Structure 1
Amino acid sequence: MSTRATTIAVQFVDEATGIVFARSSIPSESLPGTFEADTTVSIAGEEWQVCSSTPGSRAEYEERGTLSLVLRRIEVREIAPGDILFSLPTVASRLPPIAEGTSKLGKRVLELHEDDWCQLEVVASAQRAAIETELAAIRRIYEEAGAPAGFKRTHLRRGLALLEARLPLAALRAQLPSAVDLDGVGFQGVSGLVAGGFAFEVSPELALYGTAKEGIVEHLGVVGSASEAAILAPTMAEYALVLVDWIRVKMLPG
């Protein structure tokens, strides 16, 4: 029976030079279980971001007794509030929670930037009035807060749950027999999987993802273009759904 190391010999490598610039012996309990989430460390008063770790999990580095971290120095600059621009005119105001104790390591996961959550979204047509209200607010961002390199403000969408459409996840999946099931959906730089999340790859250009509650789709997002999402037309017609492109400020009937 192998013995797990309780103190880990850690070496720190500068990503820019590839040189080991520091070493330390650190109690295993003081280290995170994985470094899949964005992690920063402070060394001699300077902040560094962890780019990669070898090995990748506590079980592995406790077995070896060693850990190598590749770090990137964080440059801190003062920026005037008026110089800050948003890259997108709208983002979801609330993101789904991460399921406690889950990990993306060793899994096929659809990873999204947090700002990309449901930017191309399937919504119940019964919520048309709420959709129009959100689209009007986004149009105002383009008209009033647009800048050459971004937006001075961004609209926070309140989120339109799909539950009232009563779309079973199994029915959605059955409409796409050639799709490949993924192990879940997660966010870049965040460890773990979205609670109640699902994702499947329909084609190299199209993926569907979202959350489901008791087998009923709660939120449904699309990675790809509206034209590629036309494959969903039968399902959208049956369940009275519309496709909304929030960034392009368009609502497309199913």
Structure 2
Amino acid sequence: MSKLINVTFIDITTGMTLGIYEVPLEQLPQSFEVATTLNMGGSDWSIEDAEPKMSEEFIATGELTLKMRQLKKVKTDDILFSLPTISGHIPTDISKTAQFNDFIFTMHEDNWHQYEFLNKSSFPLIDLEIDKIKEVKTQHTKTVDKSLTAFTKCHLRTTINTPDLNIDLNKLKELLNATEVGSFALKGYEGFVPASFALKTGETTYYGILKGDEVVELSIADFSEHTINEIKQVVDVFEVVFVDWCNCEVIGAV
């Protein structure tokens, strides 16, 4: 006969006990240390805490308490996005060590390559991406309140791969009068973007990816109203184009 465990189910939101049931041991996991979901009364519940967490312990005592949170299904029509587009090439690998140690710059992954430099050869793909973003902005916009506009759709940019800009890092530093080189990390990741770097000027924070001493990806994060002058310098000297994806603006177009 299967051993029965006396399980107390508690709604962690309200603190109310949902029930106390005898549950066959084989229906319970060996550990609650990993994320666990169960179906109860036709609804899905996430196990937020378990006392005890290991099967050896609740087998010995025959008692288990599960604190749960009900998972509510969200209609896709109710999902809103704060941005009309994000990059489809956000890095997921991490490096435990920083390549440059002058400073560390961190940024949310949704902002990855939202303001980026590309080769002129990226046309007409740039135009194709911008057309899709404009469609989102004109047909999938929702006013939340007087100060906030959101989007019911978000365009994932995937057509343009690594631009391979081949910009000499030292020449870029010299052009921008940047004396320090930092490392770059995405918030929530326990490490740094591999082969990444960051530069700071009085107006702007630049970040990108290196291949040896050459910059193959270059983007802008923090900036001011005077950053446009730096952008035009980079565009002219290195014969690239600059794209502000969310605003569908291009500098240096052919």
Fold in common (TM above 0.5): yes
Deviation at 1:227, TM superposition (A): 4.2
Mapped pair 1:125 → 2:120:
yes
| Residue 83 (structure 1) shift | 0.7
Residue 101 of structure 1 and its aligned partner are, at CA, apart by: 3.0
Query: Taking structure 1 as reference, are residues 179 and 207 closer, same or farther at Cα in structure 2, changes over 3 Å only?
Result: farther
- Aligned amino acid, residue 208 of structure 2: G
> Whose radius of gyration is greater, 1 or 2?
2
Indicate the percent of aligned positions where both proteins have the same amino acid: 23
Per-residue CA deviations over 1:64-120 (Å, capped at 9, x if unaligned) read xxxxxxxxxx9965422221111110000011243343379x983211111000111
**Distance change in 2, residues 1:195/1:117 (3 Å):** same
- Quote the residue 1:88 is aligned against: 83
Q: Structure 2 vs 1, CA of residues 193 and 100 (structure 1 numbering), >3 Å: closer, same or farther? A: closer
SS at match of 2:190: coil
Residue aligning to 2:137: 142
The two structures have a TM-score, normalised by structure 1, of: 0.64
Segments of structure 1 that go 5 or more residues without pairing to the other structure are 1-29, 31-40, 46-73
Unaligned runs of 5+ in 2: 1-32, 34-46, 52-68, 145-149
Whichever residue aligns with residue 236 of structure 1, its letter is: V
Aligned counterparts of 2:179 and 2:75: Cα–Cα separation in 1: 47
Check conservation: 1:85, 1:153, Cα contact below 8 A.
yes
Alpha-carbon separation, structure 1, partners of 2:168 and 2:98: 26
- State the match for 2:22 in structure 1: none
- Residue 43 of structure 1 is aligned with which of 44, 49, 52? 49
C-alpha deviation, 1:188, in angstroms? 1.0
Q: Separation in 2 of the partners of 1:196 and 1:128?
A: 26
Residues 179 and 160 of structure 1: CA distance in aligned 2, closer, same or farther (over 3 Å)? farther
Provide the rounded CA distance (Å) in 2 between the counterparts of 1:148 and 1:108.
Answer: 39
Deviation string for 1:211-251 (max 9, x for gaps)? Answer: 11122222111122574142243332122111110011110
Separation in 2, partners of 1:221, 1:83: 32
CA distance in 2 between partners of 1:95 and 1:213 (Å): 17
The root-mean-square deviation of aligned C-alpha atoms, in Å, is 2.9
